[in-house]
């Protein structure tokens, strides 16, 4: 057989002779991941939905009861409170994190001394786990607040702003990296054209930079939105849901408890509450999915073609 070495061109790659063996081997590459996906994701997901209609201690002794868990989940005042609290937190944190991240990214893409060092430093908090961060920040906050004779768990608002500061500190660096990449991807000629046309810096920012950054903004808003909704570790470690408020009907609301923590606590309350927690989880999934899809559609429509 004669060995010939030819550069593979597009036509050759499309040739049946090349594609057929690859196609034949496809299952080898796809199936392991596919099975992992089924075992690790699809099966638990379907089972989780099934369990939300059951009463159970472990999945092995689940007993079907219908919609009872959903009814109880909706009647649970702490769940509704957690929803509104989470929604409020999400709105505030999306705005603050993205505005600040963009601001820092904008500064660090200007030619200033030590920009690379700053980028690294700002990114670093993202490498620390949520539980650790929660405990460290609770110490910092308590350390500061004691000068004012108070403490982090004294008021709901302290817990709210505390968590916001924590999340900003952790996430701004990450979003900043995405914005920096976006800003660097803006074609020089556009900026130059704007300059020649006599646009001010402010005009360039609003008319050129931001429209061109829409893909980055889409990603960052999506990430901050979903991160806020599924926030758990930081919430657990920083306040654990404290302080509490008694409702007139005698039930208790943990005023800084977000959705994920509320579900977790419900699950471990008693034998009869696991199904309720499961129902809350399904509702939680639907909610996050709807919000994320709606947000993607809204920001996508503003993206421009370069």
Partner 1 sequence: MKKKIALLLTMAMSLSLLAGCGGKEDKGSVYYLNFKPEADAAWQELAKTYTEQTGVEVKVVTAASGTYTETLTAEMGKSSAPTLFQCGNAQGLETWGDYCLDLRNTPFYNEMTTDEFNLKGENGEVLAVGYCYEAFGLITNTELLAKAGYTLADITDFASLKAVVEDITARSAELGFSAFTSAGLDGSSSWRFSGHLANMPLYYEFRDDNVTSQPATITGAYLDYYKNIWDLYINNATCAPSELAAKTGDEAEAEFGNGQAVFYQNGTWEYTNLTTTFGMNPDNLAMIPIYCGVDGEAASALCCGTENCWAVNKKASEADVQATLDFMKWVVSSDEGTTMMAEQFGPIPFNSAKESENVFFTDANQYIADGNYVVTWAFNHTPNVDAWRATVVSALLQYSANGGSWDDVETAFVKGWESQYAAEHN
Q: Which residues here bind partner 1, judged by CB under 8 A?
A: 57-61, 72, 139, 142-143, 146, 149-154, 240-244, 246, 250-252, 254, 265, 268-273, 276
Residues 6+ apart with CB under 8 A from 211: 302, 304
304 and 214 in contact (C-beta within 8 Å)?
yes
Q: How far is the CB of 58 from partner 1 (least distance, A)?
A: 4
Q: Cβ closer to partner 1: 138 or 224?
A: 138
Nearer to partner 1, 130 or 241 (CB): 241
Q: DSSP 3-state assignment of 13? A: helix
Q: Cβ closer to partner 1: 67 or 206?
A: 67
Nearest distance in Å: CB 29, partner 1:
21
Comparison of 153 and 183: residue with beta carbon closer to partner 1: 153
In the complex, the smallest distance separating the C-beta of residue 6 from partner 1, rounded to whole angstroms, is 34
> How far is 128 from 237, CA to CA, in rounded Å?
13
Collect all residues with Cβ–Cβ distance below 8 Å to 191 and sequence separation of at least 6. Answer: 204, 208
Three-state secondary-structure class, residue 31: helix
Contact 220, 105 (CB under 8 A): no
Shortest reach from residue 144's CB to partner 1, in Å = 11
Nearer to partner 1, 154 or 219 (CB): 154
Burial 92-119 (b: 16+ CB within 10 A, else e): bbbebbbeebbebbbebbeeeeeeeebb
In angstroms, what is the minimal distance from the CB of 61 to partner 1? 7
């Amino acid at each position: 057989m004669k060995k010939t070495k030819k550069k593979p061109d597009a036509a050759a790659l499309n040739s049946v002779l090349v594609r057929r063996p690859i196609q034949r081997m496809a299952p080898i590459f796809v199936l392991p991941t596919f099975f992992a996906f089924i075992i690790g994701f699809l099966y638990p997901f379907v089972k989780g939905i099934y369990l939300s209609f059951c009463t159970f201690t472990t999945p092995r002794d689940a007993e079907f009861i219908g919609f009872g868990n959903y009814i109880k989940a909706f009647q649970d005042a702490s769940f509704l409170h957690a929803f509104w609290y989470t929604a409020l937190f999400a709105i505030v944190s999306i705005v603050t994190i993205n505005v600040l991240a963009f601001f820092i990214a904008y500064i660090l893409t200007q030619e200033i001394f030590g920009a690379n060092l700053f980028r690294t430093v700002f990114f670093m908090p993202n490498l620390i786990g949520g539980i650790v961060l929660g405990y460290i920040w609770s110490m910092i906050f308590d350390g500061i607040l004691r000068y004012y004779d108070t403490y982090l768990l004294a008021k709901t608002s302290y817990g709210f702003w505390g968590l916001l500061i924590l999340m900003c500190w952790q996430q701004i660096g990450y979003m900043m990296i995405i914005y920096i990449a976006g800003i660097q991807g803006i074609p020089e000629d556009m900026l130059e054209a704007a300059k020649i046309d006599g646009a001010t810096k402010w005009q360039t920012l609003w008319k050129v930079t931001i429209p061109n950054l829409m893909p980055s903004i889409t990603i960052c808003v999506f990430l901050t939105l979903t991160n806020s909704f599924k926030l758990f570790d930081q919430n657990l470690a920083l306040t654990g849901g404290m302080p509490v408020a008694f409702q007139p009907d005698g039930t208790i609301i943990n005023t800084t408890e977000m959705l994920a923590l509320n579900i977790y606590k419900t699950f471990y309350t008693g034998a009869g509450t696991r199904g309720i927690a499961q129902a809350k989880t399904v509702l939680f999934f639907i909610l996050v999915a709807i919000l994320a899809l709606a947000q993607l559609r809204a920001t996508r429509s503003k993206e421009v073609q370069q």
